[in-house]
Amino acid sequence: MSDGLPNNSSKRVRQYDFVNPLIGHRLKILRLEKKISRSRAAKIIGKTLKQLDALEDGRKSLTAENIYKLCNFFSVDAGYFFVDLTEIATNGGELKINAHQAKEVRRLIESYLDLPNRDMQKTLVQLAESVANSDM
């Protein structure tokens, strides 16, 4: 039965996970700032080096138990891992994009995460917002 809406089932659209790459990046930055080796960090949360790499790259998610162990070890509040994620959550954490957009979004996020400090990250976001809002 048709609901009168166009059928978009042929388009490749998927939900992009912003949370795991951001949390993984924060784990990696924290580990590097505290000068903790990958093997030691992996041991703290009971993972292999390959599993830790997947966590830091955002390909896998940290469990609440892992975050708890990391917070205790690094003496940080759990909020450290979730800074700036409230904006993503306001839309239910879902963003549907096609395969090409997913590649571009991944590149944008990786560029954002590669910036050396929070001020530069904020500047990049402001730049992207101004370009998006311009009358091109």
Judge if 70 and 113 occupy the same domain: no
Neighbours of 22 (CB within 10 A): 20
**What is the b/e burial string over 34-66, where b = at least 16 CB atoms within 10 angstroms of the residue's CB?**
eeeeeeebbebbebeeeebbbbbebeeebeeeb
Longest CA pairwise span in the chain (Å): 60
- Name the domain count of the chain: 2
Tell whether 34 and 79 lie within a shared domain. yes
Residues 89 and 70 in one domain: yes
Within a domain: residue 7? no
Q: Which pLDDT does position 85 carry in this prediction?
A: 63
**Over the stretch 92-121, which tens digit does the pLDDT of each residue have?**
555 555 556 667 777 888 888 888 888 998
Q: Are residues 73 and 41 in the same domain?
A: yes
Q: Are residues 107 and 87 in the same domain?
A: no
Judged on CB neighbours under 10 Å (0-12, 13-18, 19+), 81 is buried
Claim to verify: residue 80 and residue 21 sit in the same structural domain? yes
pTM of the model: 0.58
Residue 33's domain comprises 15-95
Which two tokens mark 37?
């080796």
Residue 50 to residues 46, 56, 57, 67, 125, Cα–Cα distance (Å): 12, 10, 11, 18, 31
Instruction: Give the percent of the chain with pLDDT over 70.
Output: 72
Amino acid identity of residue 30, one-letter, is L
Same domain membership, residue 121 and residue 64: no
Q: Any idea what the CATH number is for the domain that residue 63 is in? A: 1.10.260.40
Give the CA distances from residue 129 to residues 15, 18, 24, in Å, rounded to whole numbers and listed in that order.
21, 18, 25
Give a yes or no: residue 38 inside a domain. yes
Is it the case that residue 54 has pLDDT exceeding 90?
yes
- Are residue 24 and residue 71 in the same domain, yes or no? yes
